[in-house]
Amino acid sequence: MTRAAPLAQTLRDAARIVARVAGGRSLADEFGAYAGPARAALIDLSHGTLRRYGRVQSLVGELARRGRPDVLVESLLWCAFYALESGRYADYTVVDQAVRACGLLERWSAKGFVNGLLRSYLRERASLESRIAAVPEARYQHPAWWIALVREAYPEAWQEILVAGNSHPPMTLRVNRRRASVEAYEGMLAAAGMAAQRTGMATLLLAQPVPVDRLPGFAEGLVSVQDAGAQRAAHCLDLSPGQRVLDACAAPGGKTAHILELADVSLTALDLDPDRVARIHATLARLGLSADVRAADAAALATWWDARPFERILLDVPCSSSGVARRHPDLKWLRRAGDVPAFAERQSRLLSSLWQALAVGGKLLYVTCSVFPGENEAVVTGFASRTPGAKVLALPDGAPAQMLPGPTHDGFYYALLTKQA
């Protein structure tokens, strides 16, 4: 059994990771060298810090009266603030271990500064709260431009959306009904001591997240982890046996697999990144499913399309991922305001290109995991207004197009279009 590292080591490693994120690097590949409790503790500390990035930056700004330290020491302080506020450690333990972490980071001269600043935080905690409350990035834990976009789009719900973006995401399962019934799998979870609530036809919301290797039958393909909002896609495609179906931006393969679990269709799955295509293959192999999976640019039809139209197209476009930011706490700090119109332009190009591959009478489901209207209804309504024969349909499940992130699902946008003669 791997033992958790001492807090000083975890603070050191988390500070290095957070400093790299502050420099523009993604969290995606940062944890490969860690396993067991050490990995879990490091993920908690780094993710928790980045969820509070606006807040911890403001705290250092308020307390560092002699000037801000270098980025590695400041990152250590950010992580220490999260550790203090998490309630998992005694205050004196965090202060002591943060000072020790200075040595592990070879920042010996910063020990006194770190010790003094953390003790000042503990003494001034009440007054600090009132001082940083007026800073939007500190209060809402999102960049100012992000806050402004959400507030403009959702004047009645913007604060709830931002709060959800800072929360821990739910862990939702999709039962593979080709291999197990939902009732049978609920029984397997109960036998394993895992409480779950059914929230859809084959959707189970776990009361507590667990590593996937602890899920009964996961390796055997009985179940997949997929957000309830993402599970809506396959149901909205109006699938029938024998249809030619395209999943145009398919990696890592969750929606691809769900389509194949629901209907016997001829499915082509594309993704631009060969490494991500390998994940689609792995997903389908685990679940006992098959599709024509290719590494290709969906917009470059001449490189992969045989000119036979598809009856159904799932276009889950690259986007800002603003609806799933709580799953990627670095994302909101890596994004820039200019990314939203850039994504919208790319989304429009994909939609226009793939429209050519849709059969007359066929349906295309446009999907984002964004809450920004500029990537959602603006793209769809703009396309429909300039494209002869394009009509936006009501969604089959009767739910609104825009799903906002909440306790049971992430934020997604869905639009169903048909090609009229």
- DSSP string of 169-193, one letter each residue: PP-EEEE-TTT--HHHHHHHHHHTT
For 274, phi then psi, to 5°, come to -60, -35
| Chain segment 127-153, per-residue pLDDT in tens | 999 999 889 999 999 999 999 999 999
The answer on pLDDT for 3 being more than 50 is no
Based on the domain organization, do 221 and 235 belong to the same domain?
Answer: no
Give yes or no: 369 in active site: yes
The answer on pLDDT for 349 being more than 90 is yes
| Rounded distance between C-alpha atoms, residue 121 and residue 398, angstroms | 50
Based on the domain organization, do 222 and 331 belong to the same domain?
Answer: no
Specify if 192 maps to a domain.
yes
Model pLDDT, residue 33? 77
Average pLDDT on 175-183 reads 96
From the candidates 102, 236, 249, 369, which is the catalytic residue? 369
Over pLDDT 70: what percentage of the chain?
99
**CATH number of the domain where residue 218 is located:** 3.30.70.1170
Based on the domain organization, do 278 and 130 belong to the same domain?
Answer: no
For residue 252, cis peptide bond before it (omega within 30 degrees of 0) = yes
Q: What pTM does this model have?
A: 0.92
How are beta strands 196-198 and 390-393 bridged, if at all? unpaired
**CATH number of the domain where residue 409 is located:** 3.40.50.150
Domain that holds residue 296: 228-419
* pLDDT, mean over the chain: 95
Give exposure, 27-64, as e/b (b: 16+ Cβ within 10 Å).
beebbeebeeebbebbbbbbbbbbbbbbbbbbbbebbb
| Chain segment 212-222, per-residue pLDDT in tens | 999 999 999 99
Based on the domain organization, do 202 and 293 belong to the same domain?
Answer: no
**DSSP letters for 21-83:** HHTT--STTSSTT--HHHHHHHHHHHHHHHHTHHHHHHHHHHH-TT----HHHHHHHHHHHHH
Model pLDDT, residue 5? 66
| Chain segment 26-81, per-residue pLDDT in tens | 888 788 778 788 888 999 999 999 999 999 999 999 999 777 889 999 999 999 99
